Amino acid sequence: MTDAEQPPPTPLNATVVERVDHNPFQMVLRVRMDGESGNLGPFEPGQFTNLGLPPRDPAHASGSSGLVKRPYSIASAPAEPSVEFFLRLVDNGALTPLLWKLAVGDRLWMEQRTVGKFTLADVPDGKDLVMVSTGTGLAPFVSMLRHYRGTGRWNRMVMVHGVRIESDLGYRGELESLAQQDSQLVYLPVCSREPEPGPWQGMRGHVMAALEPEFYAKAVGAPLDPEQCQVFLCGNPQMIESVETQLAELGFRPHTRKNPGQIHKERYW
Ligand SMILES: Cc1cc2nc3c(=O)[nH]c(=O)nc-3n(C[C@H](O)[C@H](O)[C@H](O)COP(=O)(O)OP(=O)(O)OC[C@H]3O[C@@H](n4cnc5c(N)ncnc54)[C@H](O)[C@@H]3O)c2cc1C
Ligand SMILES: NC(=O)c1ccc[n+]([C@@H]2O[C@H](COP(=O)([O-])OP(=O)(O)OC[C@H]3O[C@@H](n4cnc5c(N)ncnc54)[C@H](OP(=O)(O)O)[C@@H]3O)[C@@H](O)[C@H]2O)c1
C-alpha cells in the first residue's frame, strides 16, 4: 500500500475536561467522550479502556489506526459524567509524553469499549477486600470505592498504596476523608523514597510491610485470613510477584474461574 492508500487515522473522539497534576510525573485526567452522555457505556468498576493520540514516530502506531494506543484503568465510577484516569509519565514512553502535553479543551481518542476481568464479579458480598497497588495501580480501586461504597458490597476495604514519594499518593485527600467517616475503609499509604529523617511520618518501604500479619491485624482490626479476605493486586509486576509469594505462606491462592482462590491480579507492564 502506498502512503496515499493508507486508511485515514482513527478520528479523535474525546476532549480533556480537567487536568490535575500532583507532581511533574503524575496527574489525574478527566475526559469527555463526544456525544450527549460524555461517558463510556455501562462498565464494571475495575475495568479499563484505551486512550490514543497521533504518535511522534509512525512506527508507534497501533495497527492501521494511525494512533498510539495504551490501556488505562478507569478511576471514575460508571455514573460520573466524564471518565477519569490516574496517569504516570513513563520516561521515553510512546504515549505518556504526548498525554503530558494535553491541556483542557484538547482532543484525544478514547475507546468506547471497556474490558477486563479485574472486577468484583467473582467476589461474594461481605468479604474483606484487600486492595494492594503501586503507583497509578490505585485507579481501579478508586472506581470500585466510588461505585460500591455504602451498598454492603464488602465487610471492609483495606487500601494499601505503595509509592515512591509522598506527592505520588494520589487520591490521598479523598481516601483519608472517607476513611475518617467510614470504619469499613482502612487506608494504609507506604512510601519507599521519602528522605529519612524528613516530614513523612507514615509507613516506609514496600507494600509487603503493611501485609505482615501482625502489623496488618493491628492496623485493620482483623486478621489477614484467606477464609475472609480477597486480595486484589495492581501495578508493578514485581510487586505482584512479591506479594503473591508472601501471601502464599498464609494460604492465599491465585483466583481463576476454574480454580477459585483469593488473589486477583492486574499487571500494568
Ligand atoms: C490493563 C492495564 C491498565 C493500565 N492502567 C494504567 C493506569 O491506570 N495508569 C497508568 O499510568 N498506566 C496504566 N497502564 C500502563 C499503560 O498502559 C502504559 O503502559 C503506560 O502509560 C506507558 O505507556 P507509554 O506508551 O508511555 O510507554 P511505552 O512506550 O509503552 O513503554 C512502557 C514500558 O515502560 C516501563 N514502565 C515503567 N513504568 C511503567 C508504568 N507505570 N506503566 C507502564 N509501563 C511502565 C515498562 O518497562 C514498559 O514496558 C495500564 C496497563 C494495563 C495493561
Ligand atoms: N523522570 C523521573 O524522575 C521519574 C520519576 C518518577 C517516575 N518516573 C517514571 O515512572 C515510572 C513508574 O514509576 P512509579 O513510581 O509509578 O512506579 P514504580 O516504579 O512501580 O514504583 C511504585 C512503588 O512500587 C515499589 N516497588 C518497586 N518494586 C517493587 C517490588 N518488587 N515489590 C514491591 N514494591 C515495589 C517502588 O519502590 P522503590 O522505590 O523501591 O522502587 C515504589 O514504592 C518509572 O519507571 C519512570 O519511567 C520518572
Q: What is the domain-level CATH number for residue 104?
A: 2.40.30.10
The Å distance, Cα 269 to ligand 1 centre, comes to 6
CA-closest residue to ligand 1 atom 51: 268
E strand or H helix at 39 = none
Same domain, 252 and 194: yes
Ligand 1 pocket, 133 CB below 6 A? no
Nearest CA to ligand 1 atom 7: 72
- Give residue 89 CA to ligand 2 midpoint distance, Å: 11
174 C-alpha to ligand 1 centroid (Å): 24
Alpha helical stretches, state H, 122-231: 139-148, 172-181, 213-220
Query: pLDDT tens string for the chain (269 positions)?
Result: 555 566 677 899 999 999 999 999 999 999 999 998 878 989 999 999 999 999 999 999 998 889 999 999 999 999 999 999 999 999 999 999 999 999 999 999 999 999 999 999 999 999 999 999 999 999 999 999 999 999 999 999 999 999 999 999 999 999 999 999 999 999 999 999 999 999 999 999 999 999 999 999 999 999 999 999 999 999 999 999 999 999 999 999 999 999 999 999 999 99
Count of domains in the chain?
2
Residue 118 CA neighbour count, 13 Å, CB half: 30
CATH of the domain at 194: 3.40.50.80
Q: Which atom of ligand 1 is nearest to the CA of 91?
A: 26
Full domain range(s) for residue 157: 127-267
**Residue at 18 is within a domain:** yes
* 100 in the same domain as 142: no
